[in-house]
Amino acid sequence: MARNVSANELKKELNEALGPDGDLSDDETIEIHGKGLQSPSFPAGVFLCALIKDLLDIFGYLFTFATLGFLGIIIIPILWSLNIIIWLMLSTWLSGKVGSVKRTLYRRFIYSIIFEFIAGFIPWWTIFVLIAHGKEKETTAKILAVFEKLAL
């Protein structure tokens, strides 16, 4: 049987379970409580976008370092355009996350951008999506455990 839990009690329990990165605002607590959370499914479309972006980065490096003359002048702007479109798709996916997950992932998002410029041949965005999904699953499991504990 579900018991009536105050918003403050729920927020306190959630912040305790999520740790230092889990400082949720009142709006986030209400949003989480109202969503009826389920464990997130694997973001196959987003993963595919990240994989394509990483492959475009690798081809971009190959075309940049190879002397392709006229072909390079045509292909590199096309690769950059596709890269920017996919980067915008990834940032839109990230903006749909809630609270502590969003804050943690934004930090990793910035790190991925920095690392991409340092070593662009490593698939940073594919790694980022895998880590982001793992973090989201972990956080969702903690929130669901709090809901179970409070019998919501």
**How does residue 146 score in pLDDT terms, banded at 50, 70 and 90?**
confident
CA pair distance 93, 87, nearest whole angstrom: 10
Quick one: pLDDT band at residue 48, thresholds 50, 70, 90? very high
Q: Which amino acid is at 32?
A: I
**DSSP 8-state class, residue 40:** P
The pLDDT score that the predictor gives to residue 4 is 65
Per-residue DSSP letter, 38: -
- Report the predicted TM-score, pTM, of the whole model to 2 decimal places: 0.71
Going by C-alpha positions, the residue among 12, 7, 5, 18 that lies closest to residue 99 is 18
Section 35-40 average pLDDT: 68
Q: Is the pLDDT of residue 2 over 70?
A: no
Which pLDDT band, with edges at 50, 70 and 90, does 1 fall under?
very low
CA 142 – CA 140 distance, rounded (Å): 5
143/49: higher pLDDT: 49
Give the mean pLDDT of 81-89: 86
Q: Is the pLDDT of residue 47 over 70?
A: yes
152: confidence class by pLDDT, cuts 50, 70, 90: low
